[in-house]
Chain A
Amino acid sequence: MLKDKVALVTGGSRGIGRAICLELAEQGAKVVVNYAGSQAAAEEVVALIKEKGGEAVAVQGDVAVYADAEKMVSATTETFGRIDILVNNAGITRDNLLIRMKEDEWDAVLNTNLKGVFNVTKAAARPMMKQRVGRIINITSVVGLMGNPGQANYVSAKAGVIGLTKSNAKELASRGITVNAVAPGYIETDMTDNLGDDVKGKLFEAIPLSRLGRPEDIANAVSFLASDRSGYITGQVLTVDGGMVM
């Protein structure tokens, strides 16, 4: 489905990003696995892809820093000659009650989860505009649609990503670039393991398909949006959450 396409996945070493890298490679894409700190995990993803006969490289870079964003995009175009797919997946949490939330907790999450999407998209838009084709998929979250106590920073960033998705979709449409968002619900990853039991309990009760999501559930949606089959879809938010938000 993605034969010979070139993809850059930010935060590709662990969790949902890891599953996205593996799935895109499975579908035939050449993958650049970006990581901020987890080099060993990123190299493992690359090794797994190569084992199956795919092509991949790991590239370090912090999406919150514009120079790093440019670096990872140029690493992509230099290694594989182009960039067809950008998955803005990198994200962090610094959960706290509003009343207790420190300014640096707010800033860190907004810088990585929202400004990071702006940075890498801006850097990737240039080569994509020249190619007259591109797929940008932003990973947001259902909490960006419905709010969540204890996550004022994370929810604000994820809601911001939805606005950015729509704005970029309109701006880049005439150049053959589509921009969509995938909003995962409650997915089993390191990030959700850190949620408090009270938060988990409330979320779990509200899932009609009554199971947690798997990273692969998100990766499948991303791989569809990255393919030629989604050419008439742009500016949309696809929730993959077991029916939690309708």
Chain B
Amino acid sequence: MSAEIMERVKNIVVDRLGVEASDVTLEASFKEDLGADSLDVVELVMELEDEFDMEISDEDAEKINTVGDVVTYIASHK
């Protein structure tokens, strides 16, 4: 389940931030390692909401730092 989620998250992150797929690890921080600014993260969350057909509250979205945070969040809220 998580591996499948990771794959879909990775595709979106690569597409949105223009980074190499190999850089998108669970530990990678969106802002520090993947070069995202705050608005990029907001957009990423919007796209993930569409991809996984779910709503991520502003409160939860603010806690997202790494790719792993996203995968864990989606896995536990799906």
- Residues of A whose CB lies within 8 Å of any CB of B are 126, 129-130, 171, 174-175
> Chain B interface: which size bin?
under 10
Contact B46 A171 (CB under 8 A): no
Contact B46 A174 (CB under 8 A): no
Contact B39 A130 (CB under 8 A): no
Chain B interface secondary structure, helix, strand, loop or mixed? helix
* B42 contacts across to A, CB distance below 8 A: 129
* A171 contacts across to B, CB distance below 8 A: 39
Distance of A174 Cα from B39 Cα, bound (Å): 9
Distance of A174 Cα from B42 Cα, bound (Å): 13
Does B27 sit within 8 A of A, measured CB to CB?
Answer: no
* B46 contacts across to A, CB distance below 8 A: 126, 129-130
CB distance from A13 to the nearest CB of B (A): 32
Distance of A187 Cα from B31 Cα, bound (Å): 48
* A126 contacts across to B, CB distance below 8 A: 46
Chain B residue, CB-CB nearest to A125? B42
Does B43 sit within 8 A of A, measured CB to CB?
Answer: yes
* B39 contacts across to A, CB distance below 8 A: 129, 171, 174-175
CB distance from A124 to the nearest CB of B (A): 14
* A129 contacts across to B, CB distance below 8 A: 39, 42-43, 46
Distance of A126 Cα from B46 Cα, bound (Å): 8
CB distance from A117 to the nearest CB of B (A): 19
Distance of A130 Cα from B42 Cα, bound (Å): 11
Name 9 interchain pairs, CB-CB below 8 A, sorted by A.
A129-B39, A129-B43, A129-B46, A130-B43, A130-B46, A171-B39, A174-B39, A175-B39, A175-B43
